[in-house]
Amino acid sequence: MPAYKRILLKLSGEALMGDDAYGINRATIVRMVREVAEVTQLGCEVAVVIGGGNIFRGVAGGAGGMDRATADYMGMMATVMNALALGDTMRQEGMTARVMSAIAIDQVVEPYVRPKALQYLEEGKVVIFAGGTGNPFFTTDTAAALRGAEIGAQVVLKATKVDGVYTADPKKDPTATRYASVSFDEAIARNLQVLDATAFALCRDQKLPIKVFSIFKEGALKRVVLGEDEGTLVHV
């Protein structure tokens, strides 16, 4: 039995690039979708918030000097592109997914409506939240914390390239050790970078735990959902 009935998975856009400089690596997105399929087969309800850095990175060279709000709206559009790609890959893998956007693009994806999202989750569909929070100046980390709280997720799973939170940068310090768990207060005191400050504060206030793990480690998502010692749990 899964340790978590309902999860919010936060995927960065960069996670979809694989070894490419930008864009979406087909083999990478298929592998990630199959990992999600494994946990849905366990009976876990899955919602996903996805970033757009991989798409926006391709146009970043021409974005120098751009107004921050305009650049953020471009980033939101990039998250919609990634959400469509993720949803389509899930369909091809035999899953049922629904993409819901915080910014209105009715001809392409559904608008985000909380009761509808809850209905989809209860029906066993994967819900992919695109468009961030729908506002500039807020990251997709904040969108993950917000949507996680709204849908009653038991945990926010932050999928990264590193298999948890460490005492130091493991690439620079070979003696660095991984925290199995750490409290919100300890994370603040030790200046551990878990989520951006706004998202972190929201999770702490809502008593919504965060699990940081590596999406590039085969089977890690399933082990997290089963409650095994994988990644780092940040808790109240």
Q: Is 178 annotated as a binding residue?
A: no
Ligand-binding site membership of 57 (annotated): yes
The answer to whether 208 is a known ligand-binding residue is no
53 assigned ligand-binding residue: yes
Backbone angles phi, psi at 22, to 5 degrees: -165, 175
3-state secondary structure of 110: strand
Q: Say whether 148 sits in a helix, a strand or coil.
A: helix
Is 148 annotated among the ligand-binding residues?
no
List of residues 6+ apart from 228 with CB closer than 8 A? none
Site of tokens 């979708």: 33
Helices (H) and strands (E) in the chain, counts: 8, 9
- Annotation-wise, does 152 bind a ligand? no
204 carries a ligand binding annotation = no
Edge-to-edge strand ranges of the sheet holding 126-130 = 110-111, 97-101, 126-130, 45-50, 6-11, 155-160, 210-214, 232-235, 181-183
227 labelled ligand-binding: no
CA distance 17 to 35: 17
**Over the Cα atoms of the chain, what is R_g?**
17
Which residue bears the tokens 């603040």?
188
Residue 137 marked in a binding site = yes
Nearest to 96 by CA among 120, 116, 125, 117: 125
Is 160 annotated as belonging to a binding site?
A: yes
> Does 139 count as an annotated binding residue?
yes
Q: For residue 135, say whether it is annotated as part of any ligand binding site.
A: yes
136 is an annotated ligand-binding site residue: yes
Cite the annotated binding site for ATP by residue number: 10-13, 53, 57, 160, 166, 169
Cite the annotated binding site for UMP by residue number: 52, 72, 133-140
Cite the annotated binding site by residue number: 10-13, 52-53, 57, 72, 133-140, 160, 166, 169
